[in-house]
Structure 1
Amino acid sequence: MPISNAAFVRSTIVLLLAGMIALLGIVGTSLWLAAKVETYFTGFIELREVRSAAADLLSTLQDAETGQRGFVITRDPNFREPYDEALKAVAERQQALAEKAARFPHYEERVPDIKRLVSEKLAELAGVVEAVEQGRADDAINEVRTDRGRLLMDQLREQLGAIMEDADGRLQESVADTLWSAGALKWTTVIGAIAIIGVLGGAIVVIAQYTRDIIVARREVETLNATLEKRVDERTEELIRANQEVQRFAYIVTHDLRAPLVNIMGFTSELQASLSAIQAYVLADGKAPSEADIIEARRAAAEDLPEAIGFIRSSTKKMDGLINAILKISRDGRRELKIERVDLRALAETGAAAVGHQVGEAGGVVTIDRNLPTVVSDRLSLEQVFGNLFDNAIKYQSPDRPLRISVAARNAGRAGFFIDFTDNGRGIAPDDHERVFELFRRSGTQDKPGEGIGLAHVRSLMRNLGGDIVVRSELGQGTTFVLRLPPDLSKVVRSMQA
């Protein structure tokens, strides 16, 4: 079904809105997920820094303790150097942990305890080293044996380990959240891409269909333009033919009506001459008419007057017939057409039944095609056309063979329907193919009564119905009258009124 301009505009607006909504959804969701990823990443970095600070502080304290133990055992100044380096870094590591833990309240609350334990641990380490330096090695060893340093270190490991363990858990959660956000962002992009592709595909389908409809419409316009000139030529040809028919009609009317008038005028003169002879006999003013006057008067009364009156009566009768024929065609041409559905097959069967007894007397048969169509036209006009053609077939049948009449139909598309009336009668000479449609004109042997108006009347009726009639025939081979009939007369009438 062709897409209208309004439907195309509506579809385009809907697809644009859908595409805009999909795009806004993708952009909004992507920005939200990107913000979430950024938040998770920032938290991940901060947690990692806290954990690193705690691990660095613990590692530094362990290095200090290791250096202290080595110095106590060996009293070698070389073992004193790691201890001194660790002591220098402890304060820095402790400050870094305090700064990083400040972002997390549950870590920050552990910082005072860690700071206290670090101070006690550093004091313990310093006390042992100082005792060794003062030569009190036994006191230093006894201090180490008290496990005070180990207990402090265990507490520091517990506090810093708790921070690292919690940070590890939170880091795993942050990684999981980041991965989820990245996956959601990926699927949002994929779904959004599918939605946009769907919208784009729908737009392509709508545009393709609309373009296809435009191309089809353009081709139809081109076809109409191509056939327009042909139709104009056909109409021009019809006008020329109609004008020629009007001229022929005027000539025929003036010629055929003038002939009886000339006869009337001639025989009127003869009546006048005969009247003079009778007057000479009747109005003799008391004188005896001569023998010649008597003979002339008797001849005029017995012969001339009846002959003249008979010819005048014959001429006036012919004139009356011609005038009545012209009036009949004129009335049919001015009659308002009653447009209705007409079953041509039923119409042909009715016409054939009307002449069935005549066909039967001739030993003939009528064949009617089952495929005769139903048209929208004027029933009365078609009845007259079919009746005339059946009458003609019977009137001009060949005496040498049984009568055969057939009625068949052909569908000619835009041209309408062609109805073929075929008989095997006398046939018509090629020179008379157009003459038979002229008013008061007949062809062939004039052994049948008629005025020569039947086929002229048929052509007039067919052209009133928007069609036409032509003949194909050869002498002795039968005749086919081809009717061209539009399928819907109402469209023809509207076209002529437009």
Structure 2
Amino acid sequence: MHMFSAAVTRRALLMLLAAALTLLGIVAMSGWLADSTQTFSRSVGRITALRVAAGTLLSQLQDAEIGQRGYLLTEDRQYLKPYEAATAAVDSTIVRLRDLAGGDADELRIIDRLAVLADAKREELAQTITLMEAGRRDEALAVVRTGRGMMLMDDARRSLADLITPADAQLDTQLSALIGQARASGWVANLGGLFIVLVVGGAVWIALRYTRGLMRAQRAIQALNDSLEQRVSERTMELQRANDEIQRFAYIVSHDLRAPLVNVMGFTGEFEVGLASVRAHLDRLPSDGDDAAASEARRAVVEDMPEAIGFIRASTTKMDRLINAILALSRQGGRTLNPEPVSMQALLENVVASLRHQASEQRCTIDIKEPLPSLLSDRLALEQVFGNLLDNAIKYLDPARTGRIAIHGRVEENRLIFEVADNGRGIAPQDHERIFELFRRSGVQDRPGEGIGLAYVRTLIRRLQGEVTVESVPGQGSVFRITLPKALALPLEKTVHDA
């Protein structure tokens, strides 16, 4: 027995280690994707600012040229105001471009050429205005007709294109990489979540298999006669050690799986914050002039990356619910039953009262057929059993007709039989046993749940030394039948301790 329990513990620890490593991988992927998003955000900001500054420089040169042309044509000095403002602002714009280029040698070389072209253009404009102010209008127009100013503007436009095109290509490359990373992160999260669910399911299967072994051992000990008292005592000690190991297993599930799960949720939140800043920045930019790279960036921020986050959140939420369900089953297995006189009439009236609002919303009536027999059993376990059965009956009523639930009870020899009958959807014959298995459900999955409730009911009923079965016809309803002893026998370990 001890060797078997050690093997169970080793298997559980190996499975939990695999799940923890998977979660750490998901955390690392989320962190990597968050760093990539920040890098992309900085690149978007710099390239956007570079575009704006380049457009500003071209606009300033064009404003200066427009002011010059207006003055030459009309001799009205009002046209010199935009010229003077634009030529004065060119230097600060070029300084801004240099700051945005940082240490990029190619961009600095292009900006130096732009500075030379801007100086030449301003010199040409100033020459014509000086001639005009001196009364030499024909000479000023002759300078304009040489076409030198137009060539300078064309050279400036080509230089600005040489500055912006590589930056756009760099942004497009980073965007493609970021989209690929987001998709890879989504796949990793989904596959990792599936793997962890399988690991947790295997761990639960091991725990249930081990628990059934313990129950068989308990029945074997009870069957021994008084002459084997020493042997019974030794076996009881083994059972106690096994129960302690199950409790340690429950602690490992709650601690080692939940801690990295919290990390995944935290990193996902940080990723959402970074994504929000990128979206806010893109929203501030005009969308009517977007090129292909900018449009792809908007699509990634609005569609692809939020979808990846949704995958991660769905996986972690489902994982959290499964861990909670496993803990509930493990803790119930360790609770000491407390037999006491129980009036089933009063107990079920209280349970029905707690569900009355839920039943009213579903247009359902619950009828307790009197009289119901009383028994000696654990009150809390009975409340949980019938609460789960009635909750399920209400949840799976047929919306096409008024719901009716009836509770019956009778005595047969030394056993009590209780029935919960409804006129709901019903259960297919092949699922009559399957619905009592962990994480298994029947029919259309249009109601919330993880497939835990009926497995929990069967576990409780068996601890109460009873049995639960179902009879059902699809489209007509179901009858859940519970068989219990009149008096719950004290657990063997409690009998030994009391003695």
The TM-score normalised by the length of structure 1 is 0.43
The TM-score normalised by the length of structure 2 is 0.43
> Which structure has more RCO (C-alpha within 8 Å, separation ≥ 6)?
2
